Amino acid sequence: MKEDPETRSRTMRAVKGKDTTPEMVVRRLVHSMGYRYRLHRQDLPGKPDMVFPRLRKIVFIHGCFWHGHDCPRGARMPKANQDYWQKKISGNSLRDGRSVAALQSQGWRVAVIWECELKDMVQVKRRLVRFLSKSQQLKESGE
């Protein structure tokens, strides 16, 4: 069924940039693990979803479609206005890469959790435990 432009416009206006369902799922998980964090710090490149200042670590939670992930959900392309969507998604992906590089050059460690990964919360939790652990930080700094 084809949407008329007004319906499509209403749908797109409803898409949130923060406090998305995947983001809330990860935030609840990390909070239940005992970690505390800051949200969407405007002073950091890319306004990261979760910032762990004491650990100097950042977690981005990306929607597969919007950030061009190479999973089936991310590979979907709307049939209407394909040039616009390809440009939009590739621009998002390039911006993400620049943000991560800038954060790393400032001494931050960065992890990206993809929306599709949330199907296996055990694996997500395992990955976050490894990423956020202080022993991981000590190994990398050579202490």
CATH for 35: 3.40.960.10
pLDDT attached to residue 132: 96
- Whether 30 maps to a domain, the answer reads yes
**SS3 readout for the chain:** CCCCHHHHHHHHHCCCCCCCHHHHHHHHHHHHCCCCCEECCCCCCCCCCEEEHHHCEEEEEECHHHHCCCCHHHHCCCCCCHHHHHHHHHHHHHHHHHHHHHHHHCCCEEEEEEHHHHHCHHHHHHHHHHHHCHHHHHHHHCC
pLDDT attached to residue 143: 39
- Whether 8 maps to a domain, the answer reads no
pLDDT attached to residue 38: 97
Mean pLDDT of 42-49: 96
pLDDT attached to residue 138: 43
pTM: 0.84
- Whether 11 maps to a domain, the answer reads no
Count of structural domains, the chain: 1
> Which pair of tokens denotes residue 108?
């931050």
Of 42 and 1, the structure prediction assigns the larger pLDDT to 42
- Whether 100 maps to a domain, the answer reads yes
Contact of 114 with 64, CB cutoff 8 Å: yes
- Whether 96 maps to a domain, the answer reads yes
- Whether 79 maps to a domain, the answer reads yes
- Whether 1 maps to a domain, the answer reads no
Q: Domain range spanning residue 52?
A: 17-141
- Whether 7 maps to a domain, the answer reads no
